[in-house]
Amino acid sequence: MLGSLQLLQPNTVDEASGALRDFAERGKVYAGGDELLLLMRRGLLQSEILVDIKRIERLRGIAWNDGALSVGACSTHHILETHPLVREHAPSFAYAESQVANVRVRNQGTLGGNLCFNDPHSDPGTVLLVHNASVTLGSQRGERQIPLNEFFLDVYETALEPDELILDVQIPSLPSGMISAYLRLHRFQRPTLGVAAGIKMNDGTIAESRLAVGCVGPKAQRLAGLETKINGSSISDAKRILAEQKNYLRDLLRPVDDLLGCADYKLYMTGVMLGEALERVALREDDTLGIIARQKGSSSQ
Protein backbone atom coordinates (compact mmCIF):
# COMPACT_ATOMS: atom_id res chain seq x y z
CA MET A 1 0.00 0.00 0.00
CA LEU A 2 1.14 3.53 -0.71
CA GLY A 3 0.94 6.12 2.08
CA SER A 4 -0.34 9.63 1.45
CA LEU A 5 1.59 11.52 -1.18
CA GLN A 6 1.75 15.07 -2.42
CA LEU A 7 1.64 15.45 -6.22
CA LEU A 8 3.29 18.45 -7.87
CA GLN A 9 2.59 19.12 -11.54
CA PRO A 10 5.07 21.74 -12.72
CA ASN A 11 4.74 23.29 -16.18
CA THR A 12 8.42 24.06 -16.75
CA VAL A 13 11.81 22.42 -16.32
CA ASP A 14 12.80 25.30 -14.05
CA GLU A 15 9.90 24.64 -11.65
CA ALA A 16 10.50 20.87 -11.63
CA SER A 17 14.23 21.26 -11.02
CA GLY A 18 13.57 23.81 -8.25
CA ALA A 19 11.18 21.38 -6.54
CA LEU A 20 13.74 18.56 -6.75
CA ARG A 21 16.40 20.82 -5.24
CA ASP A 22 14.10 22.07 -2.44
CA PHE A 23 12.62 18.69 -1.49
CA ALA A 24 15.87 16.72 -2.00
CA GLU A 25 15.42 13.10 -0.81
CA ARG A 26 11.70 13.66 -0.07
CA GLY A 27 10.84 14.32 -3.74
CA LYS A 28 11.00 11.99 -6.75
CA VAL A 29 10.47 12.54 -10.48
CA TYR A 30 7.32 10.78 -11.61
CA ALA A 31 6.87 10.08 -15.35
CA GLY A 32 4.89 6.93 -16.28
CA GLY A 33 5.36 5.42 -12.83
CA ASP A 34 6.03 1.89 -14.19
CA GLU A 35 9.09 1.51 -11.99
CA LEU A 36 8.64 4.21 -9.38
CA LEU A 37 5.22 3.14 -8.07
CA LEU A 38 6.23 -0.53 -8.09
CA LEU A 39 9.26 0.20 -5.90
CA MET A 40 7.22 2.42 -3.58
CA ARG A 41 4.44 -0.16 -3.22
CA ARG A 42 7.02 -2.77 -2.27
CA GLY A 43 8.60 -0.43 0.29
CA LEU A 44 11.92 -0.35 -1.58
CA LEU A 45 11.77 3.40 -2.13
CA GLN A 46 10.30 6.15 0.04
CA SER A 47 8.97 9.46 -1.18
CA GLU A 48 6.57 12.09 0.15
CA ILE A 49 6.33 14.26 -2.93
CA LEU A 50 5.99 13.14 -6.53
CA VAL A 51 7.08 15.65 -9.16
CA ASP A 52 4.94 14.72 -12.17
CA ILE A 53 6.81 15.91 -15.28
CA LYS A 54 4.25 14.96 -17.92
CA ARG A 55 2.80 18.49 -18.27
CA ILE A 56 6.16 19.99 -19.22
CA GLU A 57 6.02 20.85 -22.93
CA ARG A 58 9.84 20.71 -23.31
CA LEU A 59 9.74 16.94 -22.54
CA ARG A 60 7.17 16.10 -25.20
CA GLY A 61 7.07 15.56 -28.95
CA ILE A 62 9.06 13.80 -31.66
CA ALA A 63 10.75 15.69 -34.49
CA TRP A 64 13.29 15.11 -37.27
CA ASN A 65 15.94 17.86 -37.49
CA ASP A 66 19.29 17.91 -39.30
CA GLY A 67 19.67 14.14 -39.64
CA ALA A 68 18.59 13.24 -36.11
CA LEU A 69 15.39 12.34 -34.33
CA SER A 70 14.66 14.44 -31.29
CA VAL A 71 12.49 12.45 -28.88
CA GLY A 72 10.93 14.13 -25.84
CA ALA A 73 11.72 12.22 -22.63
CA CYS A 74 8.02 11.73 -21.85
CA SER A 75 7.32 9.87 -25.11
CA THR A 76 5.87 6.50 -24.20
CA HIS A 77 7.19 3.20 -25.59
CA HIS A 78 3.89 2.76 -27.44
CA ILE A 79 4.17 6.15 -29.16
CA LEU A 80 7.73 5.30 -30.17
CA GLU A 81 6.96 1.85 -31.60
CA THR A 82 4.19 3.30 -33.81
CA HIS A 83 5.44 6.80 -34.68
CA PRO A 84 6.02 7.22 -38.47
CA LEU A 85 9.20 9.32 -38.03
CA VAL A 86 10.73 6.72 -35.70
CA ARG A 87 9.79 3.82 -37.98
CA GLU A 88 11.26 5.66 -40.95
CA HIS A 89 14.52 6.94 -39.47
CA ALA A 90 15.31 4.44 -36.69
CA PRO A 91 13.33 1.27 -37.50
CA SER A 92 15.34 -1.07 -35.29
CA PHE A 93 14.72 1.27 -32.38
CA ALA A 94 10.98 1.24 -33.18
CA TYR A 95 11.16 -2.56 -33.20
CA ALA A 96 13.01 -2.63 -29.83
CA GLU A 97 10.30 -0.39 -28.39
CA SER A 98 7.60 -2.78 -29.64
CA GLN A 99 9.26 -5.57 -27.64
CA VAL A 100 9.12 -3.83 -24.25
CA ALA A 101 7.01 -5.86 -21.79
CA ASN A 102 3.33 -5.67 -22.73
CA VAL A 103 0.93 -3.06 -24.04
CA ARG A 104 0.02 -1.79 -20.56
CA VAL A 105 3.66 -1.11 -19.64
CA ARG A 106 4.34 0.39 -23.10
CA ASN A 107 1.37 2.74 -22.84
CA GLN A 108 2.49 4.03 -19.46
CA GLY A 109 6.30 3.85 -19.45
CA THR A 110 8.42 6.54 -21.04
CA LEU A 111 11.79 6.47 -22.78
CA GLY A 112 13.18 9.01 -20.28
CA GLY A 113 12.05 6.84 -17.35
CA ASN A 114 13.57 3.74 -18.92
CA LEU A 115 16.99 5.37 -19.46
CA CYS A 116 17.03 7.09 -16.04
CA PHE A 117 16.13 3.89 -14.20
CA ASN A 118 18.90 2.06 -16.11
CA ASP A 119 17.80 -1.46 -15.26
CA PRO A 120 20.35 -3.75 -16.98
CA HIS A 121 17.49 -5.82 -18.47
CA SER A 122 16.13 -3.13 -20.78
CA ASP A 123 15.69 -2.86 -24.54
CA PRO A 124 15.93 0.72 -25.85
CA GLY A 125 19.43 1.62 -24.58
CA THR A 126 21.19 -1.15 -26.53
CA VAL A 127 19.90 -0.11 -29.94
CA LEU A 128 20.30 3.61 -29.13
CA LEU A 129 24.04 3.01 -28.56
CA VAL A 130 24.35 1.82 -32.17
CA HIS A 131 22.77 5.13 -33.22
CA ASN A 132 25.34 7.11 -31.17
CA ALA A 133 22.40 8.65 -29.31
CA SER A 134 22.85 11.34 -26.68
CA VAL A 135 20.62 12.74 -23.93
CA THR A 136 19.87 16.38 -23.17
CA LEU A 137 19.77 16.99 -19.41
CA GLY A 138 18.25 20.12 -17.91
CA SER A 139 17.94 21.87 -14.55
CA GLN A 140 17.71 25.41 -13.19
CA ARG A 141 21.43 25.62 -13.99
CA GLY A 142 20.80 25.16 -17.73
CA GLU A 143 21.07 22.33 -20.24
CA ARG A 144 23.87 19.93 -21.15
CA GLN A 145 24.11 17.13 -23.69
CA ILE A 146 26.04 13.92 -23.08
CA PRO A 147 26.49 10.74 -25.13
CA LEU A 148 24.33 7.85 -23.93
CA ASN A 149 27.41 5.65 -23.34
CA GLU A 150 28.61 8.25 -20.79
CA PHE A 151 25.13 8.60 -19.26
CA PHE A 152 24.94 4.90 -18.29
CA LEU A 153 27.34 4.44 -15.37
CA ASP A 154 26.46 1.17 -13.63
CA VAL A 155 23.47 -0.91 -12.48
CA TYR A 156 20.64 1.62 -11.81
CA GLU A 157 23.24 4.39 -11.90
CA THR A 158 23.45 7.26 -14.38
CA ALA A 159 25.19 10.63 -14.78
CA LEU A 160 21.96 12.46 -13.82
CA GLU A 161 22.35 15.05 -11.01
CA PRO A 162 19.63 15.06 -8.30
CA ASP A 163 18.00 18.27 -9.62
CA GLU A 164 18.24 17.28 -13.31
CA LEU A 165 15.74 15.82 -15.78
CA ILE A 166 16.30 14.11 -19.10
CA LEU A 167 14.65 16.55 -21.48
CA ASP A 168 15.06 14.70 -24.77
CA VAL A 169 17.02 11.98 -26.53
CA GLN A 170 18.88 12.83 -29.75
CA ILE A 171 19.05 9.88 -32.16
CA PRO A 172 21.20 10.48 -35.27
CA SER A 173 20.35 8.37 -38.32
CA LEU A 174 22.79 5.56 -39.15
CA PRO A 175 25.38 6.20 -41.87
CA SER A 176 24.01 5.92 -45.41
CA GLY A 177 23.89 2.27 -46.52
CA MET A 178 24.10 0.85 -43.00
CA ILE A 179 21.48 -1.79 -42.16
CA SER A 180 20.51 -2.41 -38.58
CA ALA A 181 18.99 -5.18 -36.51
CA TYR A 182 17.94 -5.65 -32.90
CA LEU A 183 17.56 -9.21 -31.63
CA ARG A 184 16.20 -10.14 -28.25
CA LEU A 185 16.21 -13.30 -26.17
CA HIS A 186 13.63 -13.61 -23.44
CA ARG A 187 11.88 -16.13 -21.22
CA PHE A 188 9.90 -13.60 -19.23
CA GLN A 189 8.79 -10.08 -20.13
CA ARG A 190 12.15 -8.45 -19.56
CA PRO A 191 14.92 -9.43 -21.97
CA THR A 192 17.57 -11.96 -20.92
CA LEU A 193 19.77 -10.57 -23.69
CA GLY A 194 19.57 -7.88 -26.37
CA VAL A 195 22.02 -7.37 -29.25
CA ALA A 196 22.05 -4.57 -31.81
CA ALA A 197 24.10 -4.46 -34.99
CA GLY A 198 24.55 -1.87 -37.71
CA ILE A 199 26.48 -3.12 -40.74
CA LYS A 200 27.50 -1.47 -43.99
CA MET A 201 28.70 -3.93 -46.64
CA ASN A 202 30.94 -3.15 -49.61
CA ASP A 203 31.82 -5.81 -52.20
CA GLY A 204 31.08 -8.68 -49.84
CA THR A 205 33.07 -7.30 -46.91
CA ILE A 206 32.09 -5.29 -43.86
CA ALA A 207 32.97 -1.65 -44.57
CA GLU A 208 31.69 -0.30 -41.26
CA SER A 209 30.11 -1.90 -38.20
CA ARG A 210 28.48 -0.90 -34.95
CA LEU A 211 27.69 -3.51 -32.29
CA ALA A 212 26.08 -3.22 -28.87
CA VAL A 213 24.96 -5.69 -26.21
CA GLY A 214 22.59 -5.23 -23.29
CA CYS A 215 21.42 -7.27 -20.26
CA VAL A 216 24.58 -9.36 -19.84
CA GLY A 217 26.34 -7.19 -17.24
CA PRO A 218 25.68 -3.96 -15.35
CA LYS A 219 24.87 -1.78 -18.37
CA ALA A 220 24.39 -1.80 -22.14
CA GLN A 221 27.72 -1.44 -23.98
CA ARG A 222 29.11 -0.70 -27.45
CA LEU A 223 31.69 -3.29 -28.56
CA ALA A 224 34.14 -0.85 -30.18
CA GLY A 225 37.13 -3.24 -29.99
CA LEU A 226 35.18 -5.95 -31.80
CA GLU A 227 33.90 -3.54 -34.46
CA THR A 228 37.50 -2.69 -35.42
CA LYS A 229 38.37 -6.40 -35.64
CA ILE A 230 35.52 -7.35 -38.01
CA ASN A 231 35.72 -4.35 -40.33
CA GLY A 232 37.19 -5.52 -43.67
CA SER A 233 36.04 -9.14 -43.14
CA SER A 234 33.40 -11.19 -44.88
CA ILE A 235 30.41 -12.16 -42.76
CA SER A 236 31.67 -15.73 -42.32
CA ASP A 237 35.13 -14.46 -41.24
CA ALA A 238 33.48 -11.98 -38.89
CA LYS A 239 31.52 -14.81 -37.28
CA ARG A 240 34.76 -16.74 -36.81
CA ILE A 241 36.40 -13.68 -35.23
CA LEU A 242 33.38 -13.30 -32.96
CA ALA A 243 33.67 -16.88 -31.79
CA GLU A 244 37.27 -16.21 -30.66
CA GLN A 245 36.33 -13.17 -28.56
CA LYS A 246 34.95 -14.79 -25.41
CA ASN A 247 37.62 -13.27 -23.17
CA TYR A 248 37.14 -9.81 -24.65
CA LEU A 249 33.36 -10.07 -24.16
CA ARG A 250 33.73 -11.39 -20.60
CA ASP A 251 36.12 -8.55 -19.61
CA LEU A 252 34.01 -5.85 -21.23
CA LEU A 253 30.49 -7.01 -20.37
CA ARG A 254 31.23 -8.35 -16.84
CA PRO A 255 28.41 -10.94 -17.04
CA VAL A 256 26.55 -11.78 -13.84
CA ASP A 257 24.24 -14.61 -12.82
CA ASP A 258 20.71 -13.34 -12.23
CA LEU A 259 17.11 -14.50 -12.35
CA LEU A 260 16.99 -14.14 -16.14
CA GLY A 261 20.02 -16.32 -16.89
CA CYS A 262 23.43 -17.42 -15.66
CA ALA A 263 26.55 -15.52 -16.70
CA ASP A 264 27.98 -18.33 -18.88
CA TYR A 265 24.69 -18.78 -20.74
CA LYS A 266 24.36 -15.06 -21.44
CA LEU A 267 27.97 -14.87 -22.63
CA TYR A 268 27.54 -17.89 -24.91
CA MET A 269 24.30 -16.53 -26.35
CA THR A 270 25.90 -13.11 -26.93
CA GLY A 271 28.26 -14.73 -29.47
CA VAL A 272 25.43 -16.70 -31.07
CA MET A 273 23.11 -13.72 -31.37
CA LEU A 274 25.75 -11.30 -32.62
CA GLY A 275 26.53 -13.83 -35.37
CA GLU A 276 22.82 -14.13 -36.15
CA ALA A 277 22.45 -10.35 -36.31
CA LEU A 278 25.41 -10.09 -38.72
CA GLU A 279 23.90 -12.72 -41.01
CA ARG A 280 20.51 -11.11 -41.03
CA VAL A 281 21.77 -7.65 -41.89
CA ALA A 282 24.12 -9.03 -44.55
CA LEU A 283 21.34 -11.01 -46.20
CA ARG A 284 19.05 -7.99 -45.81
CA GLU A 285 16.43 -10.37 -44.59
CA ASP A 286 13.38 -8.39 -43.87
CA ASP A 287 10.35 -9.45 -41.93
CA THR A 288 6.99 -7.99 -41.24
CA LEU A 289 7.98 -6.93 -37.73
CA GLY A 290 10.70 -4.74 -39.19
CA ILE A 291 13.56 -6.41 -37.31
CA ILE A 292 15.88 -5.57 -40.15
CA ALA A 293 15.52 -2.25 -41.77
CA ARG A 294 17.35 -0.50 -44.45
CA GLN A 295 18.11 3.07 -43.52
CA LYS A 296 16.55 5.72 -45.71
CA GLY A 297 18.87 7.00 -48.40
CA SER A 298 21.11 3.93 -48.38
CA SER A 299 23.03 2.95 -51.51
CA SER A 300 22.32 -0.33 -53.29
CA GLN A 301 25.41 -2.37 -52.46
Ligand X SMILES: Cc1cc2nc3c(=O)[nH]c(=O)nc-3n(C[C@H](O)[C@H](O)[C@H](O)COP(=O)(O)OP(=O)(O)OC[C@H]3O[C@@H](n4cnc5c(N)ncnc54)[C@H](O)[C@@H]3O)c2cc1C
- Which residue's CB is nearer to ligand X, number 153 or number 241? 153
Q: Is 92 in the site for ligand X (CB under 6 A)?
A: no
Q: CB 271 → ligand X: shortest distance, Å?
A: 22
Residues 41-60 that bind ligand X (CB under 6 A): 53
If one asks whether residue 8 binds ligand X (CB under 6 A), the answer comes out as no
Q: Taking CB under 6 A as the criterion, which residues in 12-31 touch ligand X?
A: 28-31
Q: Which is nearer to ligand X, 166 or 278 (CB)?
A: 166
Q: Note whether 38 binds ligand X by CB under 6 A.
A: yes
Nearest residue relative to ligand X (C-beta): 113
Residue 112 CB, shortest distance to ligand X, in Å, is: 3
Own/partner pairs for 254-263, CB < 8 Å, 24+ apart?
A: 254/216, 254/217, 254/218, 255/216, 255/217, 256/217, 256/218, 258/121, 260/121, 260/186, 260/187, 260/188, 260/190, 260/191, 260/192, 260/215, 261/187, 261/192, 261/193, 263/216
Candidate residues 27, 35, 185, 200; the one interacting with ligand X per rule CB under 6 A: 35
Residue 169 binds ligand X (CB under 6 A): no
Size of the site for ligand X (CB under 6 A): 32
Identify which of residues 36 and 277 has a Cβ nearer to ligand X in the complex.
36
Binding site for ligand X (CB under 6 A): 28-36, 38, 53, 73, 100-101, 105, 108-110, 112-114, 116-117, 122-124, 160, 165-166, 189-191
